[in-house]
Amino acid sequence: MSDALLSLRGLNKTFGALKATDDVSLDVASDEIHVIIGPNGAGKSTLIAQVAGALKPDSGSVLLSDEDVTRLGVPARARRGLARTFQVSSLIANFSALANVSLAVQSHQGSSFRLWRSASRDSRLREPAQEALSRVGMAATRCDIPVDELSHGERRQVELAVALALQPRLMLLDEPMAGLGGQDCINMTAVLKRLRGECAILLVEHDMDAVFALADRISVLVYGRVIASGTPQEIRASREVQEAYLGN
C-alpha cells in the first residue's frame, strides 16, 4: 500500500512523432494540492486527460488508491471520486448556476432522469447545490441567473461548484485562473486554499502567484517529461527549472 491517492507510473503518450507524455511518474497525496507547471505545449492538458480517463496512455499506469484504473473510462473514474474542470467552460449556458450545480448533485446521487427538468426545484438537489456554490464564494443573489449572463470569474466559480457537488476525492483543475482578472484570481486562489485538505487537488496553472500561493508540491513538465518535482521552495531553487521555465 502507498500513501498516495493518485499514482502515475511511467505514463507515455505520443501523437504521431510527438512525445506529449514521456515516462511521467508522480504521486498526489489525499490532502495535497499538487500543481503542474510548464511552458505552452509541454503536455500538461494531455497528462490531465490521461488522469481523468479521457485519453488512454500508450503505456504506463494510473492508480487511484492503489487500484489500477488505467483502462477505465471517465464515468468509472468519476464514480471512484475523480472530478475535473476544463480550460473551456463545460456549463449549460442557458441554465442558472443553481441548475447547473443541481444537475451535478443529481448525477452524483444517481437520481432518476425524470427529475432532470426540475433539478433546481428539488430540495434534495438544491440544498447541496447551494452549499457547493456558497463554498466557492458565489453570491446568493447570482445563483438564479443563467450562466451565460454571469461574469467569467463567476462562471469559473460555478464550474468549481459543479466539481465539488460530486464530492470528489481528487479534483483535476485545468487552468482555473485562465482569463481571470487580478481580483478574481485572488478570490479563486482563496477559495482553492480553503479546499486544501478536504480533497486532493491536481492543478495545471500558468499564474505563478497562484501556483506558489497554493502548491504543497509542484511538478515541472517540459517536452512531456517531469524535469523536477518538489516543494515550492525546492522548485524555486532548482537551476534546471530556472533555465527551462521559470527563468523565462
248 binds ligand ATP (CB under 6 A): no
173 binds ligand ATP (CB under 6 A): no
Distance from C-alpha of 178 to C-alpha of 89, rounded to nearest angstrom: 11
Stretch that binds ligand ATP, among 15-23, 62-70, 143-151, 185-193 (CB under 6 A): 15-23
42 binds ligand ATP (CB under 6 A): yes
43 binds ligand ATP (CB under 6 A): yes
- Residues in contact with ligand ATP, counted by CB under 6 A, come to a total of 11
Stretch that binds ligand ATP, among 23-31, 41-49, 78-86, 111-119 (CB under 6 A): 41-49
84 binds ligand ATP (CB under 6 A): no
Residue 155 CB: number of other CB atoms within 10 A? Answer: 19
Q: How many residues does the chain have?
A: 248
**Contacting ligand ATP (CB under 6 A), which of 7, 8, 35, 46?**
46
- Are residues 6 and 33 in contact, defined by beta-carbon separation less than 8 angstroms? no
116 binds ligand ATP (CB under 6 A): no
61 φ/ψ angles, rounded to the nearest 5 degrees:
-140, 155
140 binds ligand ATP (CB under 6 A): no
| 13 half-sphere exposure, CB direction, 13 A CA radius | 27
53 binds ligand ATP (CB under 6 A): no
| 61 half-sphere exposure, CB direction, 13 A CA radius | 8
Q: Which positions ≥6 away from 213 have C-beta within 8 Å? A: 189, 193
Stretch that binds ligand ATP, among 13-21, 56-64, 93-101, 235-243 (CB under 6 A): 13-21
- Are residues 147 and 120 in contact, defined by beta-carbon separation less than 8 angstroms? no
**Contacting ligand ATP (CB under 6 A), which of 27, 28, 33, 45?**
45
Nearer to ligand ATP, 154 or 174 (CB): 174
Q: Which segments of 59-173 does DSSP mark as H helices, in order?
A: 74-79, 97-109, 123-135, 152-165
40 binds ligand ATP (CB under 6 A): yes
User: Which residues make up the interface to ligand ATP (CB under 6 A)?
Assistant: 15, 18, 20, 38, 40-46
